[in-house]
Amino acid sequence: MRIEIDKQIVKFIPETKQEEEELNKLWQYVVSCEGESFRLVPIGVYVPGSTKEAMFQVEGIKIETKPSAPKEKIRYVCMECNRMEEYPPGEAPICCGKPMHPMD
């Protein structure tokens, strides 16, 4: 991809089909049909010769993340010493030399 800078105008000129597709994807991220467009904000450091890429964040895009499902745990009790512990389902833990009993 070729980059040309003329004062405050920066042009990204794709030179391959893949670069054209990636530039289109970037354009769709940044340009909002309704309301304000987003901005590219530089992150990290770019040093020619020592870093292979310059990174930018698209400011204002909300990325939806699915909360991870809480891992199911079962509460067990030791009938000898009344100690309670929570463990994932499976084999019952051992306490006082005997398997603990599930409470749930």
Residue closest to 75 by CA, chosen among 64, 65, 63, 84? 84
Cβ proximity of 99 and 92 under 8 Å: yes
pLDDT of the residue at 19 = 92
Residue 33: pLDDT band (50, 70, 90) is low
The CA-atom distances, in angstroms, between 11 and each of 1, 21, 68, 85 are: 10, 16, 40, 61
Any idea which residue has 């292979």 for tokens? 52
**What average pLDDT is seen over the chain?**
83
- Which residues have CB under 8 Å from 15's CB, separation 6+? 1, 2
Domain residue spans of the chain: 2-59, 70-104
Residue 7: pLDDT band (50, 70, 90) is confident
Share of the chain above pLDDT 90, in %: 10
Quick check: 104 pLDDT over 70? Answer: no
Q: Taking residues 19-45, report their average pLDDT.
A: 82
Per-residue pLDDT reduced to its tens digit, 46-65: 888 888 888 888 877 666 77
More confident residue, 23 or 90: 23
Q: Which CATH class is domain 70-104?
A: mainly beta
Any idea which residue has 């310059």 for tokens? 54
**Single-letter residue type at 20:** E
Residue closest to 14 by CA, chosen among 44, 6, 25, 42? 25
